[in-house]
Amino acid sequence: MPSRLSPQVRQYLLITGNYWAFTLTDGALRMLVLLHFHQLGYSPLQLAMLFLFYEIFGVVTNLVGGWLGARIGLNRTMNAGLALQVVALGMLLVPAAWLAVPWVMAAQALSGVAKDLNKMSAKSSIKLLVPANRQGTLFRWVAVLTGSKNALKGVGFFAGGALLTTIGFRPAILIMATCLTLVWLMSLALLERDLGRARARPKFRDILSKSRAINLLSGARMFLFGARDVWFVVALPVFLAEVLGWDFWKVGGFMAAWVIGYGVVQSLAPHVMARGSVPPGAPAAAGWAALLAAVPATMALLLAQGASPQWVVLAGLAVFGALFAINSSLHSYLIVSHASADGVSLDVGFYYMANALGRLLGTVLSGWIYQAAGIRACLVASAVLVALAAVTSLRLPRRHGGQEYGA
């Protein structure tokens, strides 16, 4: 019974539920916009530009949103994210003639603000619900939140492709906006007030991290997510549709299955990684990144030697997804662990600003490199970016002592 759960667990479940609902609409919206405008004849670079403001405003939102969360509370920033996503969806319900590139880019910008307010709030909140000496619990809770979110994003990808095929663009947007409005109203009523508000009101200059660990983690995260999106965001779905001739059902279904599997592995990352009395730190982050870098490099080499593009991309994507999931889950734990407990959203917001910057870099490069040189060049760029993440991770400080990882 929910009444028998501790207040911390109830808040964790509510935060996770909010994050799940938001993620479903975010994944479906991404696929709806991508496939709908590809159907209208947009080039890969033009498709990338549709998401340009989504990523740019994600950078700004994470930087400023962490400061806002520390000043006004994470409950307010999370609810603001839900409300803004409803508005962004509503902007796409205008007549078809209004859906020009600038209007869609503006809607995506608002969606980018909403998504990163929601994510920053969810990740920061967990730090406050777990005692500092329970690092194992923290790793598991962060892994479950992150992994389940990405699994549901995969469901959203599939839902977006399916809804576009069955009922069309506008009805799909209307359904998502209605459902998310109900979630937002429930969150307003139930989410704990003043969650995450710092005891000392931080000044605006405090948004720039001064911690070496946070700065290095942020740099590694930027390279890591740039490496994923440089071939996943635009190049891959266009490749599946144009080169392999897949229809929207197949493209949406395959990408959904990939992201769902990726999310499941993320949730299991604490069990996949070797566990001991010391929490994972720099060696683990660098080692898993180096292993990941080998995957796109090998794929590019196989394509250069004339191997079947279909089998190289599909098999390589499966291996890349599993390894990337472990890397991402490990990074998500490290930032929450290293963040300061008072005003945690300042550090987490700065870190996810770098995450958004990596997505921005990857999105633009994905459309540009694919249009200029194809999928193989995107894979080479991915390998280089992951290698940079591995090198940056090597410089992370050793884990702080005195904390029980297995607790």
pLDDT tens for 111-164 read 888 887 887 777 666 666 666 556 666 667 677 776 777 777 778 888 887 888
Under DSSP, the state recorded for 17 is H
What contacts 3, CB < 8 A, 6 or more positions away? none
Provide the b/e sequence for 191-208 (b: ≥16 CB within 10 Å).
bbeebbbbeeebeeebbe
How many independent structural domains does the chain possess? 1
Tell me which range, 198-202, 267-271, 379-383, is most confidently predicted by mean pLDDT: 379-383
- For residue 403, being part of any structural domain is answered with no
Enclosing domain of residue 313? 2-394
Question: What per-residue confidence (pLDDT) applies to 348?
Answer: 73
pLDDT at position 377 over 90:
yes
Query: Backbone phi, then psi, for 22, in 5-degree steps?
Result: -60, -45
* Share of residues in the chain with pLDDT > 70 (%): 79
pLDDT at position 401 over 50:
no
Query: Inter-axis angle of helices 135-166 and 101-129, to 10 degrees?
Result: 150
pLDDT at position 403 over 60:
no
Question: What per-residue confidence (pLDDT) applies to 407?
Answer: 36
- For residue 402, being part of any structural domain is answered with no
Instruction: Note the Cα 399 to chain centre separation in Å.
Output: 25
- For residue 399, being part of any structural domain is answered with no
- For residue 229, being part of any structural domain is answered with yes
pLDDT at position 22 over 90:
no
Pairwise CA distance, residues 1 & 65, whole Å? 34
In this structure, how many other beta carbons lie within 10 angstroms of the beta carbon of residue 105? 16
Write out the DSSP string of 307-370.
--HHHHHHHHHHHHHHHHHHHHHHHHHHHHHHS-STTHHHHHHHHHHHHHHHHHHHHHHHHHHH
> What is the band of 341 on the pLDDT scale with cuts at 50, 70, 90?
low
Beta bridge partners of 134: 404
* Share of residues in the chain with pLDDT > 90 (%): 16
Pairwise CA distance, residues 132 & 140, whole Å? 14
- For residue 63, being part of any structural domain is answered with yes
> What is the band of 359 on the pLDDT scale with cuts at 50, 70, 90?
confident
Provide the b/e sequence for 20-43 (b: ≥16 CB within 10 Å).
bbbbbbbbbbbbbbbbbbbeeebe
Pairwise CA distance, residues 114 & 117, whole Å? 5
Three-state secondary structure of 104-169: HHHHHHHHHHHHHHHHHHHHHHHHHHCCCCEHHHHHHHHHHHHHHHHHHHHHHHHHHHHHHHHCCH
Question: What per-residue confidence (pLDDT) applies to 388?
Answer: 95
Tell me which range, 11-20, 50-59, 168-177, 244-253, is most confidently predicted by mean pLDDT: 168-177
CA distances 244 to 191, 321, 339, Å, are 46, 20, 44
Tens digits of per-residue pLDDT, 262-296?
Answer: 778 877 777 766 554 455 667 788 888 999 999 99
pLDDT top residue among 30 and 122: 30
Give the HSE-up count for residue 398: Cα atoms under 13 Å, Cβ half-sphere: 3
At 382, list the tokens. Answer: 């991915």
Pairwise CA distance, residues 149 & 115, whole Å? 12
Sign, Cα dihedral of 138, 77, 260, 354: negative
pLDDT top residue among 134 and 17: 17
Tens digits of per-residue pLDDT, 213-241?
Answer: 788 888 898 999 999 999 887 888 888 88
Sign, Cα dihedral of 112, 140, 182, 175: positive
At 116, list the tokens. Answer: 């990163």
Question: What per-residue confidence (pLDDT) applies to 71?
Answer: 73
Tell me which range, 94-108, 173-187, 246-260, is most confidently predicted by mean pLDDT: 173-187
For tokens 């931080």, what's the residue?
A: 202
Tens digits of per-residue pLDDT, 77-124?
Answer: 888 889 999 999 999 898 877 878 788 888 888 888 888 788 777 766
Under DSSP, the state recorded for 93 is T
- For residue 404, being part of any structural domain is answered with no
- For residue 258, being part of any structural domain is answered with yes
pTM for the whole structure: 0.69
Question: What per-residue confidence (pLDDT) applies to 368?
Answer: 87
Residue of 307, 287, 289, 291 whose CA lies nearest to 299: 307
Question: What per-residue confidence (pLDDT) applies to 208?
Answer: 59
CATH classification of the domain holding 360: 1.20.1250.20
- For residue 235, being part of any structural domain is answered with yes
